[in-house]
Structure formats: C-alpha cells, structure tokens
Chains A and B, each alone.
Chain A
Amino acid sequence: KNQVEQSPQSLIILEGKNCTLQCNYTVSPFSNLRWYKQDTGRGPVSLTIMTFSENTKSNGRYTATLDADTKQSSLHITASQLSDSASYICVVSDEFPLRGGSQGNLIFGKGTKLSVKP
C-alpha cells in the first residue's frame, strides 16, 4: 500500500533555531517528492519538488533532501522565524496514470505541525 509517514507529528522550537522534519514513504513507482507548507486555514504552498535523481534542493531557508534508496526525505529549516509556524506536508507522486488524466497520483502525509515561539 502506498503510504507517506511523517515525523514528528508536532514540534515546538524557539525562534532562530534550526529544525529537521522527516518523511518516509513506501510509494512505488516513484515520480517525485514534494514538500508543502500549509498555514492554518489556508491551502498548501509548494516549497520544493525533487525527482529520483535529485538529492537536495533548497528554497531560501528551506532545504529538502531525498534518499531514494532508503525512501526517506527530510526538510531542514534554518534560522526559524515566527512565520514558519505552519504544517509541513510531504507528498509523493507515483507514475500510475490518473483515470482520465496522464499524470501520477499524489499521496499525502499527515504533516508535521511546527510552532515557532519567540
């Protein structure tokens, strides 16, 4: 069964500190892995997208890593800010064609809720 597991479920850190969020997946075949930031009451916003051949990708203070062999990914946030408080969702895309479409399905993790305190 295709699954995406994230840890920790929630995390509280002080402003300015770094943190790392984890994502393990069992999706096969694998197309790409995405990290999204979802503010409370808002839709997800894409942070990074990585394909099989990419090991790391950065977007400002966000750095995602991917180990396709162990099927693990991490999202590292550097010098956290209060505005980083949100849920971070790991999403993996497979390559099975959607019914009526031509692209893969998105399998969502439950997210890690990050709270950055002053």
Chain B
Amino acid sequence: GAVVSQHPSRVICKSGTSVKIECRSLDFQATTMFWYRQFPKQSLMLMATSNEGSKATYEQGVEKDKFLINHASLTLSTLTVTSAHPEDSSFYICSARMSEYNEQFFGPGTRLTVL
C-alpha cells in the first residue's frame, strides 16, 4: 500500500517558538494532503486541506496565520505551528490522497508538546 511519512515523530518546544512538521508521500504523487489534529481520547479533527500549488483551505475555527501550510510539490506538505503555546500540544496527523482515488493514506503522526 501507499506510504506516508511524517517528520519529526515527536517534538518538544518552548512556548513562543515555531515548529515545522513535514508530511511526505513516499511512493505516490499526492495532489491533495490533509492535516488533522487529535487530542487525547478524541477523534481526528480536520484542520486544513492542501492542494499542490495552491493555498490551503482551512476548516472553521482553525487560524490560518497560526498554522501555516505549504504544499510545494506532489510529495511534500509542511505544517508550521507559529508561536506555539501549550494549548497547541496535540497529535498532528497528515494524510495524502492520490488524485484519482478517494482513499486517504495516513502518516504516523507527530506528537507536539509545547512547554
């Protein structure tokens, strides 16, 4: 099956710093990538949808200036959490979709802890 990787898998940072998370589709080209956030014992919540070469579409309540998304190529999307605060601590998961299919393949997730 298709493989999606994320880097880093775990990051701890100080409040006020920015953190970049990478999402890569390793063996397929992903026209669309999705970013999710998951709090403990909660379901995945879609943050934004990213199409290659265009601006990301953010879900209601997600600050686009705080969560910067770049999808510069068909295999890479990045999520930058700017000026992170403790309430941003969460599990961030990306997924990628081949253009012709509805199947989304999920990455392994990134655990962000903001001190």
| Chain B residues with CB below 8 A from A109, complex form | 43
| B28 touches A (CB below 8 Å) | no
Nearest chain B CB to A7 CB, angstrom units = 14
Nearest chain A CB to B26 CB, angstrom units = 13
A36 to B4 CA separation, bound complex (whole angstroms) = 15
Nearest chain B CB to A24 CB, angstrom units = 14
| Chain A residues with CB below 8 A from B64, complex form | none
Residue of A nearest to B50 (CB): A100
Given A100-B57, A103-B102, A43 and B49 contact (CB-CB distance below 8 Å): no
Given A101-B49, A109-B43, A32 and B109 contact (CB-CB distance below 8 Å): no
* Contact present for B102 and A31 (CB under 8 Å): yes
Q: Which of A31, A44, A99, A100 is the one whose CB lies under 8 Å from B106?
A: A44
| B13 touches A (CB below 8 Å) | no
Majority secondary structure, B binding face: strand
Interface bin, chain A: 20 to 34
How many contacting A-B pairs (Cβ < 8 A)? 56
| B44 touches A (CB below 8 Å) | yes
Residue of A nearest to B55 (CB): A100
* Contact present for A44 and B44 (CB under 8 Å): yes
Nearest 4 A-B pairs (CB), nearest first?
Answer: A43-B106, A108-B43, A110-B43, A103-B102
* Contact bitstring A7-51, B, C-beta under 8 A = 1, else 0: 000000000000000000000000110001000011111100100
Nearest chain A CB to B7 CB, angstrom units = 13
Residue of A nearest to B95 (CB): A43
| B97 touches A (CB below 8 Å) | yes
| Chain B residues with CB below 8 A from A32, complex form | 102
A48 to B23 CA separation, bound complex (whole angstroms) = 24
Nearest chain A CB to B8 CB, angstrom units = 13
